[in-house]
């Protein structure tokens, strides 16, 4: 669905009126094309701010991608991205020089530019000064995300002690945050606790992998199928028989396999496994995208509304996951599971107690499943979308919809491709060091975490 307001405030005379009146002026974000293999990184030089071996390692890694990497720039130089390396600080006072050097470049940050912080994870076992220095980076990053304009974003990588900055998991996550693939990810801190593996082709990291996507007939599910295919995967799309025509159209487009199936059926998992074995002999990735809403205030909630949401949004996932874990030979390189959570499961939402419960449950299940998958080389992660422009959000009353769009740092709704890009990243080899995490794709909602 188009955001008419966004188009108006970025066009001619109405742009000037909005500026004079102090109205929100969301920018047109630099996004990817879900059907075309390209990997647009940053629109200008990348400045690495930091000292010592860690900053040197990051700069060297970025140079391998033919980026214009610099350690300093003259005032007035248009900057595509700033990478602020704070992994080596052991006292809060040590951040000052680097943070203020970053501040001096912000006015020259290009539209849809990027600021990415790199820090180490704080622990209760740390010296208090060390813990303070590390934990402070979260407040810095989230606050900066709310200050940037013109589609620019601020995100951070929180790297576990013992994980070098030059490993694929760190560089791969950094690449994601620098690229147009993270257009609607803002103010997020992503923990990295493993090395990952470099893909043979950074623009097609899922080459040769097989993926199942539930709820693939339209909206976010269709976008996921397109992006995974673009990135090299072969896709089995699953949706209910009532969406059969739409599902067939999407699968024909991506040359995938359409499987008409109600995921709440007792034999749903066995049918998915059977098709994967018969068509491809393997299954590397499962994307639990299928979900429904049945909104009502809890005082007016009926058993049908509550139970149907729980059945589709979480109970079906749990059954399928157990069956997939039992069929461990299907995933020779380790199974990746990415589940769709929601900001409603993190911050709550009026009239969505059933939906909020189910999506918080997805997060809990993901965190519990992660160590089990890790033992076989796999991962379990979740993506939590905020307001995304879909058929579902198009049914929200017009005024409420406009308010919802503006309640994030980017002052607009996301697109299905934004969610799909985050899922493809988490499914990629370089993200093997990210496990049990929830990546929000919400433009940094102004409410909740």
Residues noted as catalytic: 355
Q: Tell me if 158 sits within 8 A of 121, measured CB to CB.
A: yes
Kindly report the number of other CB atoms within 10 A of residue 72's CB atom.
10
* Cβ partners under 8 Å of residue 58, min gap 6: 48, 50, 83, 85, 118, 165, 166, 171, 174
DSSP, residue by residue, 89-106: --SGGGGHHHHHHHHTTG
Structure tokens at 363: 């997060």
Q: What is the rounded distance in angstroms from the CA atom of residue 148 to the CA atom of residue 72?
A: 20
Please list, residue by residue across 288-320, b when 16 or more beta carbons sit within 10 angstroms of its beta carbon and e when fewer do: bbbbebbeeeeeebeeebbebbbebbbbbbebb
Structure tokens at 9: 């405030």
In the chain, how many H helices and how many E strands? 16, 13
Q: Which residue, 154, 162, 157, is CA-closest to 134?
A: 157
User: 402 by DSSP, 3-state: which?
Assistant: helix
**Radius of gyration over alpha carbons of the chain, in Å?**
22
Structure tokens at 258: 């359409």
Structure tokens at 131: 């813990």
Positive or negative CA dihedral for 336, 337, 340, 343? negative
Q: How many CA atoms, within 13 angstroms, populate the side-chain half-sphere of residue 373?
A: 29
Structure tokens at 194: 């493993």
Q: What is the rounded distance in angstroms from the CA atom of residue 191 to the CA atom of residue 223?
A: 26
DSSP, residue by residue, 291-354: -----B-GGG--HHHHHHHHIIIIIHHHHHHHHHHHTGGG-TT--EEEEE--THHHH--TTBHH
Cα Dmax for the chain: 64
Q: What is the rounded distance in angstroms from the CA atom of residue 195 to the CA atom of residue 173?
A: 11
Q: Tell me if 377 sits within 8 A of 394, measured CB to CB.
A: no
């Amino acid at each position: 669905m188009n955001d008419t307001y966004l188009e108006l405030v970025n066009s001619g005379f109405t742009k000037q009126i909005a500026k004079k009146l102090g109205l929100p002026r969301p920018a047109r974000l630099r996004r990817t094309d879900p059907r075309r293999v390209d990997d647009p990184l940053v629109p200008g030089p990348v400045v690495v701010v930091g000292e010592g071996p860690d900053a040197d390692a990051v700069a060297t890694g970025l140079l391998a991608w033919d980026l214009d990497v610099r350690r300093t720039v003259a005032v007035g130089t248009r900057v595509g991205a700033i990478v602020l390396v704070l992994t080596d600080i052991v006292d809060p006072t040590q951040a000052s020089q680097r943070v203020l050097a970053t501040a001096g470049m912000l006015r020259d940050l290009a539209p849809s530019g990027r600021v990415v912080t790199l820090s180490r994870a704080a622990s209760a076992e740390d010296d208090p000064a060390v813990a303070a220095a590390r934990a402070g980076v979260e407040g810095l990053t989230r606050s900066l995300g709310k200050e940037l304009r013109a589609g620019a974003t601020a995100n951070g990588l929180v790297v576990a002690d013992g994980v070098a900055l030059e490993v694929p998991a760190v560089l791969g996550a950094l690449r994601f945050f620098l690229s147009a693939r993270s257009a609607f990810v803002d103010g997020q801190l992503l923990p990295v606790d493993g090395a990952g593996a470099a893909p043979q082709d950074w623009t097609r990291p899922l080459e040769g992998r097989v993926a199942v996507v539930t709820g693939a007939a339209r909206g976010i599910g269709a976008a996921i199928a397109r992006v995974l295919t673009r990135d090299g995967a072969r896709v089995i799309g699953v949706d209910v028989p009532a969406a059969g025509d739409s599902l067939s159209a999407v699968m024909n487009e991506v040359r995938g396999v359409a499987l008409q199936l109600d995921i709440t059926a007792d034999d749903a998992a066995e049918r998915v496994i059977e098709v994967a074995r018969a068509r491809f002999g393997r299954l590397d990735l499962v994307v639990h995208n299928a979900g429904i809403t049945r909104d009502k205030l809890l005082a007016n909630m009926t058993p049908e509304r509550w139970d149907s949401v729980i059945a589709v949004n979480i109970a079906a996932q749990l059954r399928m996951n157990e069956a997939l874990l039992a069929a461990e030979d299907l995933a020779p390189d380790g199974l990746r599971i990415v589940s769709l959570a929601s900001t409603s499961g993190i911050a709550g939402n009026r009239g969505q107690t059933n939906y909020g419960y189910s999506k918080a449950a997805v997060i809990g299940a993901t965190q519990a499943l992660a160590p089990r998958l890790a033992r076989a080389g796999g991962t379990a992660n979740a993506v939590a979308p905020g307001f995304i422009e879909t058929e579902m959000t198009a049914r929200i009353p017009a005024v409420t919809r406009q308010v919802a769009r503006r309640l994030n740092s980017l002052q607009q709704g996301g697109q299905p491709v934004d969610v799909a890009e985050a899922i493809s990243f988490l499914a990629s080899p370089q993200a093997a060091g990210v496990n049990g995490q929830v990546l929000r794709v919400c433009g940094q909602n102004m409410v909740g975490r």
